[in-house]
Amino acid sequence: VSPLPPGPGAPCAVSLQKVHVLPQTVLYIADAETFSGHEECHEQKKARKRNSKETALALEKLLPKRCQVLGLVTPGIVVTPMGSSSNQPQEIEEGEAGFALLFPKIDGVKIHTFHFSKDVKSRVFDESKFAEAGLKNNPDLRVVLLFGYNSWKTGATRFLHQIVNPLNEKSIILAGGQVESFTSLTSENQQAQPGDACGVVGLAFSGPQIQSATVLLDQDVADERAAEAAMQRLKAANIPEHNTIGFMFACVGRGYRHYKTKRNMEADAFRKFFPNVPLFGFFGHGEIGCDRIVTGNFVLRECNDIKDDLLHGYTTVMTLIHLGSTK
């Protein structure tokens, strides 16, 4: 497997035996059915949670010990199957599905995971934690993917604002959404998700060679023509397509229901304009992102003095991350 672009590998021993470049960071996303089974009884809730944890631990045992792992559970996923960038991306809204992105060591690129959990005792978030996580005083920071969990908890939205607002800088791309839960944070410290807490986990991409852009498909984007117009805006950013990954974070209320039973509309529109860029992502409970097109020297092409509104519902966020050219 070539180190770049990072391709998805099915989370099983058979596929990982074929990986010749060891991953340093892994992002895997699976739908809730895959992790929790089909039991609906309240009596079985504990068994279902244990099942999720056991599944996560089994996955991590397949990976190198010092590998950073971030595992998310969502209502549905978006995936380009079999690791080929030219394959047709699929929006899988129902049924069991999942994928893993394996990032090896990439010259000039640093990827790290982070986790902020809401402190029940304090209403104010300690922003010094941003620096510890490499999200502050880091001139090479380019892209931050953020995922809120337990968003139904009291105070979850306010906490997400406390994380997002200080990061809402014009020179950083922010994208992500609200997931059902996270099952893994890193294989090193085995941090378990507190069942009654809410918080934010994510991946930060740093490196001067990284380029990125993102567009927001709002509620009014409800047909093929409008979806393709959004992809044209993303295409206009002129992000190099070689060694680039696409991410799609969509509301669970979009997909085929939003497009009047036509399936795969947004993934198909993406593929039309980016035929060789693999697309990954999920259907979630809220989206994080905006229209933000950044030039090669990482200065926003168009900006105003007003900070962008980054938290949305019934939208889709499409993001490109270019990891630099291979030597």
**Is residue 12 in a domain?**
no
Residue 7 lies in a domain: no
- Within a domain: residue 13? no
Q: Is residue 156 part of a domain?
A: yes
Query: Does residue 147 lie in a domain region?
Result: yes
What is the residue range of 129's domain? 18-31+45-326
pLDDT value for 316: 94
The total domain count for the chain is 1
Q: 148 CB contacts (<8 Å, ≥6 apart)? A: 156, 160, 176, 177, 178, 179, 198, 199, 200, 286, 288
User: Is 300 part of any domain?
Assistant: yes
Does residue 38 sit within a domain? no
> Per residue in 160-189, pLDDT tens?
888 988 888 778 899 999 999 888 876 434
Q: List, for residues 7-26, the tens digit of each pLDDT value.
A: 444 444 344 455 567 899 99
27-67 pLDDT, tens per residue? 999 988 877 654 444 445 454 454 677 778 888 888 888 88
CB 58 within 8 A of CB 187: no
This prediction's pTM: 0.84
Is residue 110 domain-resident?
yes
